[in-house]
Amino acid sequence: MKRRSVLQSVVGGIALSPFLAQAQSARAVCYNCPPEWADWGGMLRLMGQRLSLQVPPDNKNSGQALAALVAEKAKPVADVVYLGGQVGPQARAADVLEPYRPQRWADVPASLKDADGFWTTIHSGTLGLFINTQALRGAPVPRSWRDLLRPEYKGLVGYLNPGSAAVGQVAVIAVNLALGGTYDNLDPGIAFFKQLQANSPIVPTQTAYARVLSGEIPILVDYDFNAYRAQHTDKAPVQFVIPQEGTQQLPYVMGLIKGGPNPDQGKRILDFVLSDEGQRHWANAFLRPVFANAMSAEVRARFLPDAEYQRARALDVQRLAGASRSIAERYQREVG
């Protein structure tokens, strides 16, 4: 039998050129990159086109992604991970990330990245009410957090489970801060969600975008980018409301997995999501890109007026990271 050339690879008994072999292996795994959330579906397709990189969708939420990374620590499966901002510091503390400063990392504001490069913000969103106006069963469009406690909204309100979903934890802290609480005093927020149980809320674990469009969940505590996508891309009868008491803006971050199987491909992903094209993609998906100049005037005009956004404040991700465990535990013990 002839010795194979060192420049050949065999797949299924067929000799491949080194270039085709490389294409076959150009893949990476991203945890918590669900196609229905933040237009990750479009981003994964774009990576396939621009980077010739296969990245399968992954429907974990932030808490599930971190739990999986910890469980797989001895033999990681993922190469990169996408997380709600408060979970970035938790992932570093769990020793599942390794530092990598993507291209343009120096241009990211210091408050939006780990000082040592363990995680970096790629975009952010503002929490509010994502409402299917045709599914309200005659109830008016709610304008405040307290409106959700009114009896006419029974069975109409949903939010993601604060026990594991980053957006669920942001919901608790956003309501808590709006109603007079602090990062250390969660009583107002927990009391609100206890009261909300009387209205039989729907509490999914995963992103519920399609369930709002179908009318199954008429009111979802969710981010502006999902509501704008539904309104302007899917042409659904939806509206986004920033509650009158105020709300919070959360950065979403990405990091490189420590000991991941495809580190070079993981680094290419992190470079790309901060590139001009990557940032334009996020802006066109109605997220706030970390580089503001990536958002065109046309896209900006589709957002609520700036006067509405004055009621939104930037979350302190480090303080929220410290409060997240308490939020999850108190929610499960006192509410869930």
pLDDT bucket at 11, cuts 50 / 70 / 90: very low
Q: Is residue 130 part of a domain?
A: yes
pLDDT of res. 5: 36
State whether 164 and 76 are in the same domain.
no
pLDDT at 18 over 50: no
Q: Which tens digit of pLDDT belongs to each residue from 306-334? A: 999 999 999 998 999 999 999 999 999 99
Neighbour count for residue 277 (Cβ, 10 Å): 11
State whether 193 and 309 are in the same domain.
yes
Q: Is residue 19 part of a domain?
A: no
Tokens standing for residue 268: 């290419």
Residue among 7, 246, 290 nearest 122 (CA)? 290
State whether 118 and 152 are in the same domain.
no
State whether 315 and 198 are in the same domain.
yes
CB–CB of 316/88 below 8 Å? Answer: no
Specify the pTM: 0.82
pLDDT of res. 165: 86
pLDDT at 298 over 90: yes
pLDDT bucket at 207, cuts 50 / 70 / 90: confident
Q: Is residue 137 part of a domain?
A: yes
pLDDT bucket at 227, cuts 50 / 70 / 90: very high
C-alpha distances (whole Å) from 215 to each of 5, 198, 199 are 60, 21, 17
pLDDT bucket at 22, cuts 50 / 70 / 90: very low
Pick from 1-5, 153-157, 179-183, 222-226: least confident: 1-5
pLDDT at 14 over 70: no
Q: What is the mean pLDDT of residues 185-205?
A: 97
pLDDT bucket at 20, cuts 50 / 70 / 90: very low
Containing domain of residue 319, as a range?
A: 125-249+305-335
pLDDT of res. 10: 35
Tally the domains of the chain: 2
Q: Is residue 10 part of a domain?
A: no
State whether 203 and 324 are in the same domain.
yes
pLDDT of res. 164: 82
pLDDT of res. 65: 97
pLDDT of res. 23: 42
pLDDT of res. 195: 98
pLDDT of res. 206: 82
Q: Are strands 120-132 and 97-98 parallel, antiparallel or unpaired?
A: unpaired
pLDDT of res. 228: 96
pLDDT at 15 over 90: no
Tokens standing for residue 296: 């065109």
Q: Is residue 18 part of a domain?
A: no
pLDDT at 9 over 50: no
State whether 185 and 316 are in the same domain.
yes
State whether 164 and 189 are in the same domain.
yes
What's the mean pLDDT when you consider all of the chain?
92
CATH of the domain at 170: 3.40.190.10
State whether 141 and 229 are in the same domain.
yes
Q: What is the mean pLDDT of residues 96-123?
A: 97
Per the rule left: phi > 0, alpha: psi between -120 and 50, beta: everything else, 155 is left
State whether 90 and 175 are in the same domain.
no
Q: Which residue has the higher pLDDT, 15 or 203?
A: 203
Q: Which tens digit of pLDDT belongs to each residue from 46-87? A: 999 999 999 999 999 999 999 999 999 999 999 999 999 999
pLDDT of res. 4: 37
pLDDT of res. 6: 35
pLDDT at 7 over 60: no
Q: Which tens digit of pLDDT belongs to each residue from 273-293? A: 999 999 999 999 999 999 999
